[in-house]
């Protein structure tokens, strides 16, 4: 068999096992997995002492996203460049459908930009903010045929025109189920947030700590429980994004155990930081929604990571520049919501494996295999013959301290500054093409391809 690339002498990691093997690649696909593969015409990479992993899928990013009077710092080029340099080979972005506009129209505008700029492969969920008198529901089937098989709703951002009410949410759940799609949800209670924000502003309590206090655990938990209730009663699949609180997590896990089609995502920031970060002088830099919660919630999330009840880890990558975060120095409501993370996702979770908190196989399951399965990325997520050759070579002995200076984004600060991870990716391949090599991006913008997601059935 003729091959373009052979990665030799490494330890292959799947969601089920680890074993010594070579990986053979031809025309961007994995064509052979075995011992002592040979092809005199192939480029050979020696991965001795390294792990060979499937590229990660970050199922939750916001690239070039308008929010809070500005636009997120990473567009498609810089965001996907950073992704590739952290071992993420596919990102999902969230185009925002607005009143008077359709799903495919909205997604296609983003796709055209991404096809010119993307440094890794990309797919789309679509945020639904207005049903346009039912026309949007009628478009769901066409969107699935196009390759978008997931639609996101917000229970928050009422003033921004993004929130859906319960009836609209249930309509979306049912229609998505009918056409082979899954509904994603940002779950917090908007009325309680507005009530608490008004109270704190009236009292002159305006620093970053009150971002957390305006939307603490119980504000998220109520919305988590309500969403689970409607999904159970509609017998429809639901993917809860960026789970951050213990009470809501427990409700979602209970429903899963009862057979509901509930999938749970969390993010590294909720596994690493607690709400105490909002008391820091730079607390505004950690402002995201939902905010980091207390230690009890952090511990519960890690337990769910370990016992298998959390399905995916993604980032909600949505960074802003320091000058923009500083808008909220004296008013937490003016801080653009979002933090960096796409380049840190895989190193953080694999570092947890190196440290013995989870297995490498579990990290692969959370960051690659499960998102591929949930969202219909049939050519992604695992190292298997016939799959895309999205491959990460990982050195478990390489310590790495994160700094804005060694990241590959366009932002000027990171909440991960000074964090050391044990183990780090040394190479990333997207469909067999080397895009990251020992600290340097070596690909070309525009090499990333649109991933058409298959219909999903649960």
Q: Are 229 and 169 in contact (CB under 8 A)?
A: no
Going from the C-alpha of 10 to that of each of 51, 57, 389, the distances in angstroms are 6, 22, 15
Q: How far apart are CA 355 and CA 93, in angstroms?
A: 31
Strand 5-13 relative to strand 43-46: parallel, antiparallel, unpaired?
parallel
Q: How far apart are CA 220 and CA 309, in angstroms?
A: 19
Tokens of 121: 């492969």
Which strand (E) or helix (H) includes residue 284?
A: none
| Closest of 192, 246, 129, 150 to residue 453, by C-alpha | 150
What secondary structure, in 3-state letters, does 225-265 show? HHHHHHHHHHCCCEEECCCCCHHHHHHHHHHHHCCCCEEEE
Q: How far apart are CA 308 and CA 298, in angstroms?
A: 16
pTM: 0.98
| Closest of 453, 430, 313 to residue 377, by C-alpha | 453
Correct CATH for 5-53+385-441 of 3.90.420.10, 3.40.50.10540, 2.30.40.10, 3.30.420.10:
2.30.40.10
Q: Are 57 and 89 in contact (CB under 8 A)?
A: yes
Q: How far apart are CA 286 and CA 441, in angstroms?
A: 27
- pLDDT given for residue 52 in this prediction: 98
**Buried-exposed string 406-421: b where 16+ CB fall within 10 A, e elsewhere:** ebbbbbebbbbeebeb
Domain ranges for the chain: 5-53+385-441, 56-374
| Closest of 120, 63, 55 to residue 447, by C-alpha | 120
Tokens of 431: 């469909």
Beta bridge partners, 244, equal: none
| Closest of 423, 309, 421 to residue 365, by C-alpha | 309
DSSP-derived secondary structure letter, 163: B
Q: How far apart are CA 246 and CA 193, in angstroms?
A: 19
**Tens of each residue's pLDDT in the chain, 458 residues:** 789 999 999 999 999 999 999 999 999 999 999 999 988 889 999 999 999 999 999 999 999 999 888 999 999 999 999 999 999 999 999 999 999 999 999 999 999 999 999 999 999 999 999 999 999 999 999 999 999 999 999 999 998 899 999 999 999 999 999 999 999 999 999 999 999 999 999 999 999 999 999 999 999 999 999 999 999 999 999 999 999 999 999 999 999 999 999 999 999 999 999 999 999 999 999 999 999 999 999 999 999 999 999 999 999 999 999 999 999 999 999 999 999 999 999 999 999 999 999 999 999 999 999 999 999 999 999 999 999 999 999 999 999 999 999 999 999 999 999 999 999 999 999 999 999 999 999 999 999 999 999 999 88
Domain 56-374 has CATH 3.20.20.140: yes
Dump the DSSP string for 84-129: HHTTEEEEEE--B--TT--HHHHHHHHHHHHHHH-SSEEEE-EE--
Strand 182-186 relative to strand 391-401: parallel, antiparallel, unpaired?
unpaired
Q: Are 89 and 119 in contact (CB under 8 A)?
A: no
Number of helices and strands in the chain (H, E): 14, 20
Question: What count of residues does the chain have?
Answer: 458
Tokens of 376: 């219909």
- For residue 407, give the 3-state DSSP assignment: coil
- pLDDT given for residue 40 in this prediction: 85
Burial of 165 (0-12, 13-18, 19+ CB in 10 A): exposed
- CA 412-417-423 angle, 5° bins: 125
Q: How far apart are CA 205 and CA 261, in angstroms?
A: 41
Q: How far apart are the first and last CA of the chain?
A: 38
| Closest of 290, 287, 298 to residue 246, by C-alpha | 298
**Buried-exposed string 100-129: b where 16+ CB fall within 10 A, e elsewhere:** ebbbbebbeebbeebeebbbbbbbbbbbbb
């Amino acid at each position: 068999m003729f091959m373009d690339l052979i990665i030799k002498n490494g330890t292959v990691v799947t969601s089920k096992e680890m074993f010594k093997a070579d990986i053979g690649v031809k025309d961007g696909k994995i064509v052979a997995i075995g011992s002592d593969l040979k092809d005199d015409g192939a480029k050979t990479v020696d991965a001795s002492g390294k792990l060979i992993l499937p590229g990660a899928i970050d199922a939750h990013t916001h690239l070039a996203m308008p929010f809070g009077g500005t636009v997120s710092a990473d567009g498609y080029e810089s965001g996907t460049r950073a992704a590739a340099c952290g071992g993420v080979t596919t990102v999902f972005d969230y185009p925002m459908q607005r009143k008077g506009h359709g799903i495919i129209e909205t997604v296609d505008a983003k796709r055209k930009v991404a096809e010119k700029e993307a440094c890794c492969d990309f797919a789309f969920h679509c945020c639904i903010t207005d049903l346009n008198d039912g026309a949007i529901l009628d478009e769901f089937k066409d969107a699935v045929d196009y390759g978008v098989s997931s639609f996101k709703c917000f229970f928050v951002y009422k003033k921004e025109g993004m929130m859906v009410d319960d009836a609209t949410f249930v309509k979306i759940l049912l229609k998505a189920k009918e056409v082979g799609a899954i509904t994603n949800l940002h779950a917090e209670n908007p009325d309680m947030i507005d009530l608490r924000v008004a109270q704190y502003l009236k009292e002159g309590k305006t620093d970053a700590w009150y971002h957390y206090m305006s939307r603490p655990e119980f504000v998220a938990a109520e919305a988590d429980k309500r969403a689970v209730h409607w999904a159970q009663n509609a017998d429809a699949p639901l993917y809860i994004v960026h789970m951050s609180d213990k009470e809501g997590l427990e409700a979602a896990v209970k429903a899963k155990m009862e057979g509901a089609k509930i999938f749970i995502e969390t993010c590294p920031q909720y596994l690493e930081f607690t709400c105490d970060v909002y008391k820091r002088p730079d607390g505004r830099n950690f402002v995201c929604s939902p905010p980091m919660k207390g230690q009890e919630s952090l511990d519960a999330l890690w337990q769910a990571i370990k016992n298998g009840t959390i399905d995916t880890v993604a980032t909600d990558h949505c960074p802003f520049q320091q000058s923009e975060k500083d808008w909220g120095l004296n008013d937490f409501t003016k801080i653009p919501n979002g933090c960096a993370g796409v380049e840190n996702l895989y190193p953080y979770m694999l570092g947890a494996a190196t440290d013995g908190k989870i297995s490498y196989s579990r990290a692969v399951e959370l960051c690659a295999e499960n998102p591929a399965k949930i969202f219909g990325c049939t050519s992604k997520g695992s190292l298997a013959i016939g799959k895309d050759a999205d491959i990460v070579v990982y050195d478990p002995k390489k310590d790495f301290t994160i700094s804005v200076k060694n990241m590959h984004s366009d932002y000027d600060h990171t909440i991960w500054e000074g964090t050391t991870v044990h183990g780090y990716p040394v190479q990333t391949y997207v469909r067999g093409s080397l895009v990251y090599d020992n600290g340097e991006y070596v690909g070309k913008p525009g090499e990333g391809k649109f991933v058409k997601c298959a219909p999903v059935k649960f």
